[in-house]
Amino acid sequence: MSHSRSTRMPAEPDVDRKALWVVRELGLPAIIKTCVSCRATRHRPTGKIRVNANGKLLDVWMLIGCEQCDRTSKIPVHERVHVQALDHERLVMFENNDPAMVRRLAMDAALAGRAGYRLDWTGTWDLETDLPFYDLAKDDPASLEVLVRFELPVPIRVEKLLRAGFGLSRSAVRGMVGSGRIRLPMALDAKVRADFSLFVLATEP
Ligand SMILES: [Zn+2]
């Protein structure tokens, strides 16, 4: 994760302290599509990518397995793409069942949209903070910048992140954002999936 992906507000307040929250990766999302054998819906990548050449045209599929009955299904990644049109490095990764490529495909929301399935991110992440206790309920003269870093592109509602990170109730989070104590680069109800910074402003002495 690089700092260049951070979403920053135009004018950043002076901060006394900085904290890092990391959205840790616990696993890959489940692929939700109906199994043609058993009608169950949850699938997992098998770790295999199949490449089929027909002359100069290639088909590439990600193979997934039904959690219920183990039936393997194919998710089309490329269909009848000219071999020249495919980045060579990418093709080598496909041919080698490269785990990094399998991971990338398994988390690819655009691919899910094209291929007509949904991703279930339940249980794929947890939030690690280096400030186990920062009592926002008390007045604190110090301001704080929190950099939120994502190890995986899981969409999380901002409010849920704040509740988990600060250990606050829904109404407390809403109150602090509403009063401007917590400043966000996006709406509280928005979903985020990439690095950003938020600020907790100092209380008036
Ligand atoms: Zn099945």
Q: pLDDT by residue (tens digit) across 93-110?
A: 999 999 999 999 999 999
Of the residues 102, 120, 138, the one at which a domain ends: 120
How many A from CA of 72 to the centre of ligand 1?
8
The confidence band for 34, taking pLDDT boundaries of 50, 70 and 90, is very high
Mean pLDDT for 26-55 is: 96
How many A from CA of 35 to the centre of ligand 1?
5
Same domain as 18, residue 46:
no
How many A from CA of 22 to the centre of ligand 1?
35
How many A from CA of 154 to the centre of ligand 1?
25
* % of the chain surpassing 70 pLDDT: 87
How many A from CA of 46 to the centre of ligand 1?
14
Is the residue at 139 inside a domain? Answer: yes
The range of the structural domain enclosing residue 113 comes to 30-120
Burial class (CB in 10 A: 0-12, 13-18, 19+), 102: buried
H-type alpha helices, 76-182: 88-95, 99-106, 109-115, 158-166, 170-179
Same domain as 71, residue 86:
yes
| Nearest alpha carbon to residue 51 among 79, 73, 28 | 79
How many A from CA of 64 to the centre of ligand 1?
11
Per-residue confidence (pLDDT) for residue 2, from 0 to 100: 42
* Residue 59 clears pLDDT 80, i.e. is over it: yes
Is the residue at 205 inside a domain? Answer: no
Question: What digits encode the pLDDT tens for the residues 14-29?
Answer: 777 888 999 999 999 9
How many A from CA of 191 to the centre of ligand 1?
31
